[in-house]
Amino acid sequence: MSDELPVGVERHQFDGEERLATQGEPVYGEPTDGEWRAWNPNRSKLGAMLALGMETGLEGGDEETVLYLGAASGTTVSHVADVAGPTYAVEFAPRPARDLLEAADSRPRLFPLLADARKPETYAHVVERDVDAIVQDVATRGQARVALENARFLADDGRLVLAVKARSEDVTREPAAVFEDVRDELTEGYEVLEYRRLDDYHADHLGIVARPR
Amino acid sequence: MTADSPAETGWFAELEPDDSEGAAAAITEGTAAEPADWPKLAVEAGFASDAEEYYDRLKEATTAATRDAVERAERADDRQLVHAVRTMDDCTRTANELAERLAEWAGTIDPDAGAGVEYARAIAGEDAERDVGHERVRSLAERVVSLADEAEDLREYVERETPTVAPNLAALADPVLAARLISLAGGLEPLAKKPSGTVQVLGAEDALFAHLRGHASSPKHGIIYTHDAVRGTHPDERGSAARAVAGKLAIAARVDHYSGERKPELEAELAERIETIQSRTADGEGDENGGGGE
Ligand SMILES: C[S@@+](CC[C@H](N)C(=O)[O-])C[C@H]1O[C@@H](n2cnc3c(N)ncnc32)[C@H](O)[C@@H]1O
């Protein structure tokens, strides 16, 4: 359990309730208070991991570089870009990418990329090497594989912050068994530092923090 | 610099800093086996004066590239699909009708006259495998062939475009069936708003579909009865299979219309459901054959 939040993520009061928040243009109808926008852990797996006190290793600050896989319409990656430096947002589907563009509009260091996270060579000419963090939330089959394929972008002391959706791997199996397989497969390229079920906010999801080995 | 030095595989290689169109294309079309320290290399190559300027250019290029791709995807919209799949069916039907006419006519001059598009192919064109010696008949055969070819090209177009317009629907049904459902509903949005019971009977009264289907099955069935999961199920359980397929297709249409995200778990859930349904008759069939079984 950690009380260390990335610089730029703060606990803030919204309607008398304390919530995590970042500073930036609102993106998904979240409550705001001046410059601050609430980070909804029910809409964001990374938000849930932070709310649960996981030690993500994210530090925040203009120098921090992030590769975000599965950006969808930008809910989570917009918060990441609020606190980090250059942030590469990879999304596969054109329709959510339309909304991602809007979220990226007011964030000069958020770079949208329409690409398949299973094919890193299609964006390795754009995304720089030695990023400080990879945040992954692709909800597709082969989530460990995607993380392994993208390890080439990560700095030796960088962090993988991964949300695994059990149902994307196999709807018929026990989530616990799926999670174990994913953690196993990850050891091919990563050392798992911490993992935790996110069920309080996202049913049958596991949060994992790992570093390259 | 050697030909494979990293700077030359970065998206900015060979770009003038003010060529924004080229920059977007380089983002979309480029590749590299490995990432590199692009900001540093770009500054060294003179593409930008410092990292901040590099990131400003990157921002502009990635935004333009993504916007282009999104707009391209939206142009390949459901209206295009509806027209394409209807035209495909029209071309197929017309080719078949004209092929019948051709067979009748050719039968009067060619003792070995065959039938269908296949026969038309045999006698069409200057260097056809057979010469019927009648210019009008040969010309008619050529029309039949080109209509059949157009139908085939349209099918390829539909197979290519449907996954962009409706990725989940295309994965769950085959792309052509997905496009037919969209066409019968009058678009993706109306399809997304239909309850699964309606999806199940879409196409039941459609005359064209009855024609395509031939007279084999009862017309009370919707077009989803052509889905592999329904066809591959024992007739006693086909109703259940059709309900399961319609239920998932209705959800897929909603996801495609409202979010566009891929949800591969829908396929797994349907496969699981169909397996359960089919296992009910795996036993049932054993019973039917039980009398003479050995
Ligand atoms: C659960 S959503 C992500 C939500 C987002 N991370 C957030 O919290 O705002 C999963 C996304 O991953 C995308 N996705 C699935 N497979 C992908 C792939 N191979 N490459 C890139 N994106 C993918 C889907 O299109 C979808 O938008």
Ligand 1 atom at minimal distance to the Cα of residue A93: 25
Residue A145: DSSP 8-state: H
Contact: B37, A130; criterion CB under 8 Å: yes
Structure tokens at B37: 């320290």
- Ranges in chain A, pLDDT < 70: 1-3
Question: Which residue in B33, B39, B65 is closest to A124 by CB distance?
Answer: B33
Ligand 1 atom at minimal distance to the Cα of residue B259: 27
Q: Whats the size of chain A, residue-wise?
A: 213
pLDDT value at B125 more than 90: no
CATH of segment(s) B167-284: 1.10.246.90
Mean pLDDT within B277-288: 66
Q: Taking a contact as any Cβ pair under 8 Å apart, which residues of chain B between 29 and 58 contact chain A? A: 30-39, 55-56, 58
b/e per residue, B45-56, with b = 16+ CB within 10 A? bebbeeeeebbe
CATH of segment(s) B77-165: 1.10.287
Structure tokens at A115: 């690409």
Residue A33 and residue A35: Cα distance in Å, rounded? 6
What is the band of B219 on the pLDDT scale with cuts at 50, 70, 90? very low
Whether the domain at B77-165 and the domain at B167-284 fall into the same CATH topology: no
Q: Whats the size of chain B, residue-wise?
A: 294
Residue A101 and residue B64: Cα distance in Å, rounded? 10
pLDDT digits (tens, 9 = 90+) for B74-113: 666 788 899 999 999 999 999 999 999 999 999 999 888 8
pLDDT digits (tens, 9 = 90+) for B60-73: 999 999 998 888 77
Residues of A in contact with B32 (CB under 8 A): 121, 124-125
Give, in order, the Cα–Cα distances in Å from B183 to each of A86, B74, B106, B245, B259: 44, 17, 36, 18, 20
CA of B230 vs chain A CAs: smallest distance (Å): 21
Q: Are A33 and A19 in contact (CB under 8 A)?
A: no
Contact: A113, B66; criterion CB under 8 Å: yes
**Domain boundaries defined on chain B:** 32-68, 77-165, 167-284
Residue B210 and residue B217: Cα distance in Å, rounded? 9
The residues facing A134 across adjacent strands are A67, A160
Residue B266 and residue B254: Cα distance in Å, rounded? 12
Give, in order, the Cα–Cα distances in Å from B220 to each of A60, A193, B198, B201, B204: 61, 59, 12, 7, 6
pLDDT digits (tens, 9 = 90+) for A203-212: 999 999 999 9
The residues facing A154 across adjacent strands are A131
Longest dimension (CA), chain B: 86
Q: Among candidates B66, B261, B266, which has minimal Cα distance to A72?
A: B261
Question: How much is the ipTM here?
Answer: 0.95
